[in-house]
Amino acid sequence: MKLRTLLFAVLAAAATAAQAVDLSKSMILVAKPELVDQLYGSTVLVVTPVGGDQHVGFIVNRPTNVTLGELFPDDGPSQKVVDPVHLGGPLNSQVLFALVERKQSPGGQSFELMPGLHAAVDEETVDRIIRAESDHARFVAGLVVWRRGELSAEIERGAWYVLPADAHLAVRKPSQGLWEELVRLSQLRANSI
C-alpha cells in the first residue's frame, strides 16, 4: 500500500510540474473558450516578462476595420499595406506599434518580445518597417500590461492556455482562425497529459 501511495504522489507531482508555467520566459497566451470577455475573449497574445513578475504583450488576432493607408493618407508606403491595423490592447491604444519578425533588433525604441520577434515603438522605426518589412510585420494599436502577479493569477484561474514562444504566430496572415486553431492544439496537448 505504501508503494502505491508513493507512486501516486510521484505521478501527481509530475503532472503538476508538466502544467507549471515558467513566467520568466516569453510565451503565447490563448484565451480559453470559458474566458467570456468582450476584449480578451477569443484572443491570442504574445507576452514577455519585463521584470518584477510583470508582463507586457500584444493581442495579435483582433483586426480592426482600419488600414495604415486610412490612418496615414498622405504616406505612399502606408497605402501599400493592405492588412488592417490590429487592436494590440487597451493601454495606449492611440499608439501604433510594429511587431516585426526578424532575428535582430530593428533599432530605435524597440524591444525583443521573444526570439525572432521585436516590437518597435518610435515613429521613425515603425515608418522604416512600413516601408521595408511590412510583409513580416503586424501593426497594432495599444498593448496589454500585467502588474506584479496578475498574469500568474489569471493562469491559475484557468483563463489562458500557455504555449511556447513562436514569433511567426504573431505575424501570421491572415489572423482569422488563429484562435480556433490554437485552442484545438492546446486542448489536444491538455488531453495527452
- Domain of 171, CATH number, reads 3.40.1740.10
For 143-174, what is each residue's pLDDT tens digit? Answer: 999 999 999 999 999 999 999 999 999 999 88
142: part of which helix (H) or strand (E)? strand 137-146
Beta strands of 52-136 (E only): which ranges? 54-59, 63-67, 84-87, 91-101, 110-114, 117-120
The reported pLDDT for the residue numbered 21 is: 86
Cα 83-100-80 angle, rounded to 5 deg? 35
**Does residue 121 form part of some domain?**
yes
**Does residue 74 form part of some domain?**
yes
β-pairing, 137-146 vs 84-87, is parallel
Residue 39: name the closest of 80, 86, 6 by CA: 86
**Does residue 13 form part of some domain?**
no
**Does residue 5 form part of some domain?**
no
**φ and ψ at 26, to 5 degrees?**
-65, 155
**Does residue 11 form part of some domain?**
no
- Residues of the chain where predicted confidence (pLDDT) is lower than 50: 1-18
The size of the chain, in residues, is: 193
DSSP string of 145-171, one letter each residue: EE-TTHHHHHHHTT-EEEEE--HHHHH
**Does residue 165 form part of some domain?**
yes
Number of domain units in the chain: 1
Domain that holds residue 182: 22-192
CA distances from 193 to 11, 15, 16, 17, 81 (A): 11, 7, 10, 11, 42
How far apart, in whole angstroms, are the C-alpha atoms of residue 183 and residue 123? 35
Residue 98's DSSP bridge partners are 120, 139
pTM strictly above 0.95: no
**Does residue 4 form part of some domain?**
no
**Does residue 1 form part of some domain?**
no
Cis amide bond preceding 174, omega within 30: yes
